[in-house]
Structure 1
């Protein structure tokens, strides 16, 4: 397959991954029908309209993720639908109503619209590693997580990880609906997405990364992937006829202390709190993702491009 003449729908098009996806789709000759939450909020998608090819082949639509039928007319005529939009709420007083139900509802709404459109050949859903490895299984340095792993809803509930539960629940609902209705579905599971920002606002992962730079975030380990690799994986998941099932997208697994060392190597003046060494983290299989044709960017490139982008957009200032 090639992009020339193909029409693609991208939901949540002004987001971090989606913006790069729109950029690459336009570059490959696709016509893109992009959905945003509010067409009146032009600042959030002005960067999309400025992309090369946008004037002739980018069409913006307003759509509500949880409104029945709101995507029917948008996906009609599309060959592929990329569902990247997600209600990313990490803190909530009512997780069922504010996170889990909207996540499931949005996934089903998209798939229901796709089931009505005879033009749609494949649906690509952006999920997360959160729907893969959050369970009771031991995850030490000798463990390799792959696509056979699934997060456990009860484990998510027990630990009050509502985002993880929402991703897991949405995945399960999407696969059940796709199998019952004959939809060609592929689901991508990126880890912690980093790399340059196209959009003018901070998204969840870039905000977390900014907290790392400020010394206010201390996860035990990280499973990083470059945003450009994630966007490319979406396109390859459509253009490769043999693509099927789930794909984990992680370029590098690294501990917090190892990350500090790498950031100090790149930016010696970066004032990060000193921390002790930690044991190695679990590894993530790249085999299936690489079978799509993905060659993951070196972590140093992603880190540098991320920091430079945050500085360029005035989200972060490096003390000299």
Structure 2
């Protein structure tokens, strides 16, 4: 097995993407040090501890993004670190305290722990296409996005896209710190991640799918770009395992129109009609082209969007959200 005997750390291990990364790492033989904020909260720990192989090869550590040095113990002795923990919300009351500080300071705290640990060979940081696509003027259907594109913090502020701002500032700070401290770092920049939930709580992107199932159009868009959480987890692990991996990797799917999405969910709700686009501004227009050659070099075969949407629906129903 690729990870046999190797020890890695996953931050925010209870989260949607992170718990799938832990699951994949365990299936490949790794020992995982999983950090969570509250070791006493079963909604943050049970779904991680019941994964196959977890009993033997998962160690839980308490760590907080805003607490300096709190990741030291979990990271010391690890070969690879997956920094996935970061708040995801579009409706913060205090964007500085709720989004920007945990994203930026948390990333630097984790990287500082990595710099202290001589065992660490590579760090994989979960960023987002939110750190790629925001600019003025906005991106249009004739524009192509690739790994050289960074969101403009000024445009994020002007458009009050605080989540995008948090991911952009965090990634910029991470690259600066990695360069100054000689850290071998790779970032994964996913689009809107959907697929079956492992955790018991509703995460942000699953909430978007739930709204679509309920006939709402949360981003006021005629099209969305989804990517499967299992593909995103695979990209994370390959970014550690492939020695030549470097820089940023955008991972997102093809454009899915509202009609495409309705078609999948009508299997379960024949009468479904998703609200049409209104006069208000789209939150995240999806009508641009994306170069995916880099992530495809990992040998990734994308899960069809219909499968991802169907699997999301089935898990939402199983967990009582529908």
Query: d(CA) in 1 for partners of 2:257 and 2:94?
Result: 32
Name the counterpart of 1:107. 107
1:206 has 2:206 as partner: yes
Name the counterpart of 1:7. 7
Name the counterpart of 2:268. 267
Deviation at 1:178, TM superposition (A): 0.2
Tell me, what secondary structure is at the counterpart of 2:134?
coil
Tell me, what secondary structure is at the counterpart of 1:73?
helix
Name the counterpart of 2:85. 85
Stretch of structure 1 that moved more, 213-222 or 35-44: 213-222
Query: d(CA) in 1 for partners of 2:183 and 2:286?
Result: 40
Query: d(CA) in 2 for partners of 1:160 and 1:245?
Result: 28
Choose which of 287, 291, 307 in structure 1 pairs with 2:293.
Answer: 287
Tell me, what secondary structure is at the counterpart of 2:306?
helix
Name the counterpart of 1:59. 59
Deviation at 1:281, TM superposition (A): 1.8
Q: TM-score, normalised by structure 2?
A: 0.93
Choose which of 211, 224, 240 in structure 1 pairs with 2:242.
Answer: 240
Which ranges in structure 2 are unaligned for 5 or more consecutive residues? none
Deviation at 1:276, TM superposition (A): 7.2
Residues 49-89 of structure 1 show CA distances to partners (whole Å, capped at 9, x for unaligned) of 11111111100011111101001111000000001100223
Name the counterpart of 1:162. 162
Residues 208 and 218, structure 2, Cα contact 8 Å, conserved in 1:
no
Aligned length: 315
Q: How does 1:181-200 map to 2 (within 5 A)?
A: 181-200=181-200
Residues 6 and 79, structure 2, Cα contact 8 Å, conserved in 1:
yes
Query: d(CA) in 2 for partners of 1:50 and 1:274?
Result: 39
Name the counterpart of 1:127. 127
Residues 131 and 164, structure 1, Cα contact 8 Å, conserved in 2:
yes
Query: d(CA) in 2 for partners of 1:36 and 1:263?
Result: 34
Tell me, what secondary structure is at the counterpart of 1:45?
helix
Name the counterpart of 2:44. 44
Tell me, what secondary structure is at the counterpart of 2:163?
helix
Residues 5 and 31, structure 1, Cα contact 8 Å, conserved in 2:
yes
Distance 1:90 1:268, change over 3 A: closer
Stretch of structure 1 that moved more, 77-86 or 133-142: 133-142
Query: d(CA) in 1 for partners of 2:198 and 2:38?
Result: 18
Residues 257 and 276, structure 1, Cα contact 8 Å, conserved in 2:
no
Residues 108 and 177, structure 1, Cα contact 8 Å, conserved in 2:
yes
Query: d(CA) in 2 for partners of 1:159 and 1:183?
Result: 33
Query: d(CA) in 1 for partners of 2:145 and 2:264?
Result: 24
Distance 1:17 1:285, change over 3 A: same
Query: d(CA) in 1 for partners of 2:119 and 2:271?
Result: 51
1:315 has 2:321 as partner: yes
Name the counterpart of 2:305. 299
Distance 1:56 1:217, change over 3 A: same
Query: d(CA) in 2 for partners of 1:141 and 1:213?
Result: 26
RMSD of aligned alpha carbons: 2.0
Residues 114 and 120, structure 2, Cα contact 8 Å, conserved in 1:
yes
Tell me, what secondary structure is at the counterpart of 2:239?
helix
Deviation at 1:248, TM superposition (A): 0.5
Query: d(CA) in 2 for partners of 1:90 and 1:19?
Result: 22
Distance 1:274 1:167, change over 3 A: closer
Distance 1:281 1:35, change over 3 A: same
